Structure 1
Amino acid sequence: MAQPVGTSWSQGVFGELAAPLSKVIPKCIVRAHERARDGHQGVHTQTLEAYGHGLHASQYEELAAGLAELPGATPMRLQARTVMVVTGQVLYPIRYAKRDVPVTAARLRRAVGFRADLIRRHGPEPMQAELDLGLEELQEHDYHNDLNQLDPNFSLVLLAYACSMDRGVLRLEWGDAELRRGDRHLLWHHHEALELPDAPGSA
């Protein structure tokens, strides 16, 4: 079950930065939604393409801008996006749903590719170790080439949120999760709810 923000997992990972991060990150995600919504309204399309593409791009930009002044925060370019690393933790946003469903229901769109490889390489150690079939070396070479830019000792913190254009950001949690090979379902080791700010479009 999710634990209150600022206890155990988040403090253990970020120390004194857990509190400021827990305040800044929700504001960044809400602002990203607002920018994407405004972009959609500006182009007047009947589909949500402008919103989806805008949200994908603006989530990274807002996190980079919002976290830039925090001690130890470092920007890195991955997949043509700026991803923030704080105290050796890669902060990676994922919109996992368009409606208010638990983060434990989160699934990736694809079981392969950059995002899946990022989680498998930098996520927590699997709860159940895979059978030793001599595949360890193969798995190391199987990762997406762009991951070579990341220190292999970095860990991954997922910023998982449910959001829709009409209702805004419905739920936001951070934590660490594993992704088994060939699977799209995230298995959370820890996850904590982040409080959303009272802002237009956040509910």
Structure 2
Amino acid sequence: MGDLSASSSWSRSVFGELAVPLAKLIPECIGRAHERARDGHRGVGTQTLEAYGHGLHASQYEELAAGLADLPGVTAVRLQARTVMVVAGQVLYPIRYAKRDVPVTVARLRRAVGLRADLIRRHGPEPMQGELDLGLEGLQEQEFHKDLGQLDPDVGLVLLAYACAMGSGVMRLEWGDAELRRGDRHLLWHHHEPLALPDARRSA
């Protein structure tokens, strides 16, 4: 999974000196979110995994907000009733892309529309291949989710993509930037790299 003490040229170029502490803190936050969701499921005692899934979705934001709050220059923004952290001019946005250990390159969004898709299209990297927009940039801007008006248009986006299941814990966690073409759910990664998972977080 890589060495926590080492950061790539990409992460250093994005986060500077914060790359190393972020590479340590983010896996710890996602691991705690899994543990909270797992414990919540056990407390409810249902046969389905609804409690785990809903708990993980909520706790991933809460753990990142708490775990990253003391970093220099960090700010918090509320998007669709969730607190999202902005570090070094980058929105850190968690996405559980799989329930089994598969590469992040297979990641797809559940929906091609909505806040998450709009966030990636508005704040993700410039498309590798230009799209034909017929000069409708202004119209496209109006179509973005209203909550994105709280973000500076120049803010970037770093996705925290992870594979996680109740019984297996966090199996894979990577960060990077990806584009999302209009009408598509498949993420096209420009950069992605693994983050080391503390052994304690691997256990269910």
- 1:93 alignment partner in structure 2: 94
Amino acid across the alignment from 1:15: G
- 1:78 alignment partner in structure 2: 79
* Residue 185 of structure 2 is aligned to residue 165 of structure 1: no
Give the distance between the partners of 1:178 and 1:132, measured in 2 at CA.
Answer: 16
* Residue 121 of structure 2 is aligned to residue 120 of structure 1: yes
Instruction: Check the 8 A contact 1:196/1:202 in 2, yes or no.
Output: no
RMSD between aligned residues: 1.5
Amino acid across the alignment from 1:141: Q
Distance 1:38 1:201, change over 3 A: farther
Instruction: Check the 8 A contact 2:73/2:87 in 1, yes or no.
Output: yes
- 2:106 alignment partner in structure 1: 105
Give the distance between the partners of 2:53 and 2:2, measured in 1 at CA.
Answer: 30
SS at match of 2:84: strand
- 1:131 alignment partner in structure 2: 132
* Residue 54 of structure 2 is aligned to residue 42 of structure 1: no
Query: After TM superposition, where is structure 1 displaced by more than 4 Å over at least 4 residues in a row?
Result: 2-5, 200-203
Task: Give the C-alpha shift of residue 3 in structure 1.
Answer: 8.8
SS at match of 1:47: coil
- 1:57 alignment partner in structure 2: 58
> TM-score, normalization: structure 2?
0.96
- 1:188 alignment partner in structure 2: 189
> TM-score, normalization: structure 1?
0.96
Amino acid across the alignment from 1:59: Q
Amino acid across the alignment from 2:168: R
Instruction: Check the 8 A contact 1:163/1:169 in 2, yes or no.
Output: yes
Give the distance between the partners of 2:132 and 2:84, measured in 1 at CA.
Answer: 33
Instruction: Check the 8 A contact 1:96/1:106 in 2, yes or no.
Output: yes
Amino acid across the alignment from 2:136: L
Task: Give the C-alpha shift of residue 136 in structure 1.
Answer: 1.5
* Residue 164 of structure 2 is aligned to residue 155 of structure 1: no
| Count of residues in correspondence between the two structures | 202
Instruction: Check the 8 A contact 1:30/1:202 in 2, yes or no.
Output: no
Instruction: Check the 8 A contact 1:119/1:156 in 2, yes or no.
Output: yes
- 1:27 alignment partner in structure 2: 28
Instruction: Check the 8 A contact 2:28/2:201 in 1, yes or no.
Output: no
Give the distance between the partners of 2:25 and 2:91, measured in 1 at CA.
Answer: 16
Give the distance between the partners of 1:17 and 1:200, measured in 2 at CA.
Answer: 22
Amino acid across the alignment from 1:48: L
